[in-house]
Amino acid sequence: MHHQVIDCPVRLTSSNRSELRLLYADLRDHYLRRDAQEGTRTTIHFIWHGDDLDPAHYWATFADQRHTFDPAQPIMNSLRTDAGRWDDDQHRQLLRHGFNNVITA
């Protein structure tokens, strides 16, 4: 089985949670169909932008991902940020336990 990674750059805002849920459902349906047809396994790699948000917004969208995607569907979350802005405990917890990778600008 061929494995591939699809990068999906996204911007999280305080008001786009419903749009992201629709995006997750569309991606889930598309890659389930395509992977079954082509015999591939696709990892969806979300690259997040929008580092001025309360960490609760990220935890909420991660919960939406867990609710939408099958546990067997590989999902990665990376943050593209100026990490110096993430120096309080809430943000450090999010960086340690929420994201697979942090890409500093």
Average pLDDT over residues 13-38: 95
Residue 34 banded pLDDT, cuts 50, 70, 90: very high
**How far out from the chain centre does Cα 101 lie?**
11
**Nearest of 2, 86, 8, 84 to residue 44 by alpha carbon:** 8
Q: What is the pLDDT of residues 49-58, one digit of tens each?
A: 865 678 888 8
Q: What is the pLDDT of residues 58-105, one digit of tens each?
A: 899 999 999 999 998 999 999 887 666 666 677 777 777 788 887 776
